[in-house]
Amino acid sequence: MDLQLTPEDVAYRERVRAWLAANLPRQKLETLEERRAWHRKMYEAGYIGMGWPKAYGGQEARPMEQAIVGAEMARVNAPAPMNGLGIGIVGPTIIHHGTEEQKRQFIQKILTAEELWCQLYSEPNAGSDLASLRTRAEREGDEFVVNGQKVWTSGGYNADWGLLLARTDPAAPKHQGISCFLLDMRAPGVEVRPLKQISGSSEFCEVFFDNVRVPADNIVGEMNRGWQIAQTTLSYERGGNLLSRVTRLQVLFARLLDVARTLKRNGRPAIEDPIVRQRLGQIYSETEVLRYGALRLLSKLEKGQRPGPEASIAKLYYSELDKRAQELMQEILGPFGQLFEGAPPELSLAGDEDGEGGSWVYSFIWSRAGTIYAGSNEIQKNIIGERVLGLPKEVRADRQALQAR
């Protein structure tokens, strides 16, 4: 396991730093067009779809290079590129399972964010148990007719296309009757309703399908093999993810230390309170544990190995630590931590750039989502229990067997 950057990695990091210093937007990006322009700049510099094959516009970059770009972006609080689902999930799915025609039509526009994508998987009664999904797609000539409902569709409100899982054989066992489609979000019969969230924003949507016609050419892979396609876990940009999350926590932590030096508790700076110091020390140590975990994972990816169940351990540990860290931040900040805007600059999260996405409270609320998306933490624990520890899958059946003895 390599815990140090090689001289080449350090040189690469310097180049990324220099590029960010020269190109980072000076002002907050307000409009979709401003965000697209920033995305375009990153794409032209080779920082989008870094792990993709060169034949499809990627860089075939090493996991460490991807991680370095993610970490450097987090360090300077750079705006995220657009089309996260398109680049993280849809593009790799089309590259692996799509037809030549689908690749020609979609890949380039995903990379440039000319077309934005959403993921149409979860339904009101199919989240963790995704294979229970009920949205139907029925074949009629050279089209499929889609009816049903999806929920928690991130970015559904401005998506041009959606990667859809729908049931194509209701008689088959539930994992075997599902197909995967590329669905035009502007097609007649698609209705997108934004959901108002506790944060005040509406990143999620409900999506309803009322006799939506999808050309049969837009099926991905074989009919009724959608479950296998959805399971394709592609490690293209996964390696970069964890280290940038560590950096994000480190940046937040550094800011918290500044605030704790300024804020007074019983007339003394909060940082002099022994309990505050102890709790800060705890979060610092746990972040270091996560950093070594991220390097361990990267080391494995660099050797061409798959992430394996470590990805579940990392996700579980990171999201729980993030929640603990955010709770501590709120405790130290007191009422100031509740302000979406208007906190004094010396106490705010992002100095004069305060506001949605840059406030302590938004950061706190967002941390609650981390234990749910990409498979809830209970599901991660099931995976770790079954695949890492080798515990029995069916505890009830096991108990009955024990009782019968």
Ligand X SMILES: Cc1cc2nc3c(=O)[nH]c(=O)nc-3n(C[C@H](O)[C@H](O)[C@H](O)COP(=O)(O)OP(=O)(O)OC[C@H]3O[C@@H](n4cnc5c(N)ncnc54)[C@H](O)[C@@H]3O)c2cc1C
Joined together, the tokens standing for residue 363 give: 């950061």
Is 33 among the catalytic positions? no
Of 122 and 363, nearer to ligand X (C-beta) is 122
10: three-class secondary structure by DSSP:
helix
103's enclosing H/E stretch is helix 100-111
Residue 354 contacts residue 343 (beta carbons within 8 Å): yes
Rule CB under 6 A: say whether 83 interacts with ligand X.
Answer: no
Q: How many CB atoms lie within 10 A of CB 266?
A: 7
Nearer to ligand X, 120 or 301 (CB): 120
What is the smallest separation between the CB atom of 259 and ligand X, expressed in angstroms?
27
Of the residues 23, 105, 224, 376, which one makes contact with ligand X according to CB under 6 A: 376
What is the closest distance, in whole angstroms, from the C-beta atom of residue 248 to ligand X in the complex? 16
Q: Which of 334, 351, 367 is nearest to 254 (CA)?
A: 351
CA-closest candidate to residue 136, choices 98, 115, 165: 165
The single residue of 203, 237, 272, 302 carrying the catalytic annotation is: 237
CB of 156 to ligand X, least distance (A): 8
Residue 170 has φ and ψ, to the nearest 5°, of -65, -20
Candidate residues 83, 93, 102, 119; the one interacting with ligand X per rule CB under 6 A: 119
Residue 292 vs 373, nearer CB to ligand X: 373
**Separation in Å, CA 181 to CA 49, 132, 144, 164, 382:** 22, 17, 10, 5, 29
- Which residue in the set 121, 161, 227, 362 belongs to the binding site for ligand X (CB under 6 A)? 121
Chosen residue from 24, 80, 369, 383 binding ligand X by CB under 6 A: 369
Q: What is the three-class DSSP state of 207?
A: strand
Measured from the CB atom, the residue of 143 and 203 that comes closer to ligand X is 203
Contact 229, 221 (CB under 8 A): yes
Q: How far apart are CA 29 and CA 35, in angstroms?
A: 6
Minimum gap (Å) between residue 374 Cβ and ligand X: 7
Of all residues in the shown chain, the one whose CB is closest to ligand X is 127
Q: Does 227 bind ligand X (CB under 6 A)?
A: no
The count of other CB atoms within 10 Å of the CB of residue 402 is 8
**CB-nearer residue toward ligand X: 71 or 207:** 207
Least Å distance, CB 389 to ligand X, is 15
| Assigned token pair, 312 | 């579940």
Q: What is the smallest separation between the CB atom of 313 and ligand X, expressed in angstroms?
A: 16
Which range of residues in 5-13, 146-154, 338-346, 353-361 is near ligand X by CB under 6 A? Answer: 146-154
Does residue 362 bind ligand X (CB under 6 A)? no
Least separation in angstroms between CB 100 and ligand X: 27
- How far apart are alpha carbons 207 and 149 in whole angstroms? 6
**Biggest alpha carbon–alpha carbon distance for the chain:** 77
- Interaction of residue 154 with ligand X, rule CB under 6 A: yes
Return the amino acid letter for 145. V
Between residues 57 and 385, which has the closer beta carbon with respect to ligand X? 385
Enumerate residues 6+ apart whose C-beta is below 8 A from 331: 279
**Which residues touch 348 (CB under 8 Å, ≥6 apart)?**
339, 354, 358, 359, 360
Question: Could you tell me which stretch among 8-16, 34-42, 191-199, 370-378 binds ligand X (CB under 6 A)?
Answer: 370-378
Amino acid, single-letter form, for residue 17: R
d(CA 81, CA 331) in angstroms, rounded, equals 32
What the block records as the tokens of 284 is 């610092």
384: contact with ligand X by CB under 6 A: no
From candidates 24, 45, 234, 372, binder to ligand X by CB under 6 A? 372
| Residue 179 sits in the site that holds ligand X (CB under 6 A) | no
Q: Rounded to the nearest whole angstrom, what is the least distance from the CB of residue 338 to ligand X in the complex?
A: 21
Among 153, 168, 218, 244, binds ligand X (CB under 6 A): 153
Q: Report if residue 373 touches ligand X, rule: CB under 6 A.
A: yes
Q: In 232-387, which ranges are continuous DSSP H helix?
A: 238-262, 274-302, 310-333, 360-369, 377-383
378 is an interface residue for ligand X by CB under 6 A: yes
By CB under 6 A, residue 127 contacts ligand X: yes
Q: Show which residues are catalytic.
A: 237
Binding site for ligand X (CB under 6 A): 118-119, 121-122, 127-128, 152-154, 369, 372-373, 375-376, 378-379, 382
